[in-house]
């Protein structure tokens, strides 16, 4: 008798929402997400370092690659999770992390994902009467961040939690109460 093989349709999306440690933590806790990797996306420099990216001359943004099982979770749920865990109205970065390399972004060439993103943006703007400042950029590259950045929240929980609290991320998210419709 042949064993049953579960069919797993793993796909990837690339999101940015400020500090990649925080974005990685949020998505790794979601059912259907297989793996989340911290890295850099959107720029013109190959294999940039963290130092290069935060200096600001690479064009890259701190981002995550989210591998997910599309039979368990869909892109709409992933997008909603992103919007509920950022300040969508901040054009200067996210929380205490400032500058282009900390902007919120969706990197994609998938027109369906872009349409879903635009629908959510329209809903948020109508519900809040504010302009959403997330970037929608074509996907062109993703470079893994240094190993010490991967799963940082698990490897360094005291430092991570201190950073997250000091940065005001959760306090601001609670204050915003983003309405997705």
Catalytic residues: 19
Angle separating helix axes 157-167 and 20-28, nearest 10 degrees? 110
Which residue shows structure tokens 């690659």? 65
What separation in angstroms does the CA of 38 have from each of 62, 71, 140, 177?
8, 24, 16, 26
Question: Can you tell me the distance from the alpha carbon of 69 to that of 88, in angstroms, rounded to the nearest whole number?
Answer: 26
Query: Residue 31 corresponds to which tokens in the numbers above?
Result: 């059912």
Are the C-beta atoms of 60 and 42 separated by less than 8 Å? yes
- The residues, any chain, with a CB within 8 Å of residue 152's CB and separated by 6 or more, are 21, 24, 38, 160
Backbone phi and psi for residue 52, each to the nearest 5 degrees, phi listed first:
-60, -45
* Nearest one of 155, 26, 8, 25 to 69, comparing CA atoms: 8
């Amino acid at each position: 008798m042949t064993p049953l093989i579960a069919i797993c349709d793993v796909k990837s999306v690339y999101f940015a929402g400020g500090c990649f440690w925080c974005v990685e933590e949020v998505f790794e806790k979601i059912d259907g997400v297989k793996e989340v990797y911290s890295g850099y996306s959107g720029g013109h420099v190959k294999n940039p370092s963290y130092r290069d990216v935060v200096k600001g001359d690479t064009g890259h943004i701190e981002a995550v690659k989210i591998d997910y099982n599309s039979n368990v979770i869909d892109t709409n749920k992933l997008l909603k999770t992103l919007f509920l865990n950022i300040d969508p109205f901040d054009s200067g970065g996210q929380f205490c992390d400032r500058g282009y390399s900390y902007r919120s972004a969706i990197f994609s060439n998938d027109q369906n994902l872009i349409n879903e993103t635009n629908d959510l943006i329209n809903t948020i703007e109508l519900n809040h009467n504010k302009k959403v400042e997330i970037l929608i950029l074509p996907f062109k590259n993703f470079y893994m961040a240094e190993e010490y950045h991967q799963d940082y929240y698990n490897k360094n929980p005291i430092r991570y939690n201190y950073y997250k609290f000091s940065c005001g991320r959760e306090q601001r998210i609670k204050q915003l109460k983003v309405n997705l419709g």
